[in-house]
Amino acid sequence: MDIAINTSQSRYHVNEKGYYGDFGGAYIPEMLYPNVEELRENYLNIMRDPAFQQEFESLLRDYVGRPSPLYFASRLSEKYNSKIFLKREDLNHTGAHKINNTIGQILLAKRLGKKRIIAETGAGQHGVATATVCALMGLECIVYMGSVDIQRQAPNVARMKMLGATVVPATSGSQTLKDATNEAIRDWINNPVDTHYIIGSVVGPHPYPDMVARFQSVISEEIKKQLTEKTGKALPDYVIACVGGGSNAAGAFFHFTDDESVQLVAVEAAGKGVDSGFSAATSQLGKPGVIHASKTLLMQTDDGQIVEPHSISAGLDYPGVGPFHAHLYESGRAVFLNATDNEALAAGYELSLLEGIIPALESAHALAKLKDLQLNPEDVTVVCLSGRGDKDLETYIKHLK
């Protein structure tokens, strides 16, 4: 495993200035400059260090349980008359892909001598994954979470607390992921020396989008190997993943960006419908601008105020996408679809009944688009099953009809 350090650079990946096409950069106030610059100067060197790679690999293997299986979902395949594989990130320790990134970043933070870890979380999966690695390394952990999300993802709040983290409610704005991210950034401004901010997705100022994508790229690295073993071919016809900030999608797409025969499908949350006023389908509703220190597509008013998004799934309830995805969208390299709250719920029930797997509501958005892709029997499709649905049971049950 090379955590995408030594692989050739795709033209869809970040350039030396920190941009993906027109998107990316680091639109940070001066107060954050030393922190972000320290990361920018060091992240690639640290990730290239063989000792770092060895530690990262062994933790992914023995602690996280990687490689995660690539499972041929036969009843789902039968239903859609195609060959559908699920990349089982739900089977990772802590139940989602988020831990791939937090393991990488905690090792990096230790090498930078940081003593205090902060994070934002939406669904709570990133918060749990961060609390987990902090417990593992014996570091203080503070997680910012929107008050609305604290309500709707209660099991994960309890897990974070049991793991020793302090959960701080973000009470401004829509009280969801965007606001939790604001609070985490403000914390970092106030604690510039001893603190590392573990961002949970491919968002934020350069080098975060690239760093997080590289840690998550293990997903597509494994898919290539596993598909070769199972089908004799490394390249699928479709890779489908949900996009909140876009880290599981970035990981699932990373090693396929230059293989143009692979159709990359990003699925955003349409909420109650793209044009309902209650949506998080950024590529459809957004325009270029700056959110959380990154130039990217974001949902905003004509006057440049950020619009409050809506999704039934806390992890997709974000008014932007990472700059990597903005570039994939603008360049046409990926297609961007969206699924409504109801489509996601239905897809969640469908997978539960057909395969005995309860998916996270986020992942259910990706599954919901299988019906729209007009797959052929010969097509090989990989769906990134980014997480498991335990945290969403209450929401699923509330909508059971």
Partner 1 sequence: MNRIDQLFSTKPKEVLNIYFTAGFPQLGDTLTVLQALQDGGADMAEIGMPFSDPLADGPVIQDSSTRAIKNGMKLAVLFEQLKGFREKISIPVVLMGYINPVLQYGVENFLRSCQEVGVDGLILPDLPMDEYETEYKPLFEKYGQHLVFLVTPETSEARIRKIDSLSRGFVYAVSSSSTTGKDKDMQLQASYFEKLQSMQLKNPVLVGFGIRDKATFQQACRYSNGAIIGSAFVKAIENSANLQDTVQAFVRNIKQ
Ligand X SMILES: Cc1ncc(COP(=O)(O)O)c(C=O)c1O
For partner 1, the binding residues (CB under 8 A) are 25-31, 33-34, 172-173, 178, 182, 185-186, 189-193, 287-293, 300, 302-306
Q: How far is CA 38 from CA 32, 92, 145, 202, in A?
A: 10, 30, 26, 18
Residue ranges of E strands in 109-262? 116-121, 140-146, 166-170, 195-197, 238-242
- Told to check if 157 binds ligand X by CB under 6 A, we report no
Q: Which is nearer to ligand X, 89 or 350 (CB)?
A: 89
362 binds ligand X (CB under 6 A): yes
Q: Are strands 116-121 and 140-146 parallel, antiparallel or unpaired?
A: parallel
Stretch that binds ligand X, among 15-23, 121-129, 132-140, 326-334 (CB under 6 A): 121-129
Q: Answer whether 250's CB lies under 8 Å from 264's CB.
A: no
Whether residue 147 lies in the annotated active site: no
**Of these residues, 217, 220, 279, 386, which one is catalytic?**
386
Contacted by 289, from ligand X, partner 1, none: CB < 5 to 8 Å by type:
partner 1
**Segment contacting ligand X by CB under 6 A, of 67-75, 179-187, 240-248, 330-338:** 240-248
Backbone angles phi, psi at 167, to 5 degrees: -100, 120
CA distance 145 to 157: 9
Going by C-alpha positions, the residue among 261, 252, 260, 272 that lies closest to residue 345 is 272
CA–CA distance, 124 with 146 (Å, rounded to integer): 10
Per DSSP, the three-state class of 222 is: helix
Q: Choose between 189 and 346: whose C-beta lies nearer to ligand X.
A: 346
Q: In angstroms, what is the minimal distance from the CB of 358 to ligand X?
A: 12
Q: Would you count residue 283 as binding ligand X (CB under 6 A)?
A: no
Q: Using the minimum distance from each CB to ligand X, give the nearer residue, 176 or 201.
A: 201
Of 87, 98, 178, 369, which residue is the catalytic one?
A: 98
Catalytic positions, written as ranges? 98, 120, 386
The residue ranges that bind ligand X (CB under 6 A) are 96, 122-123, 125-126, 201, 242-248, 315-316, 360, 362-363, 386-387
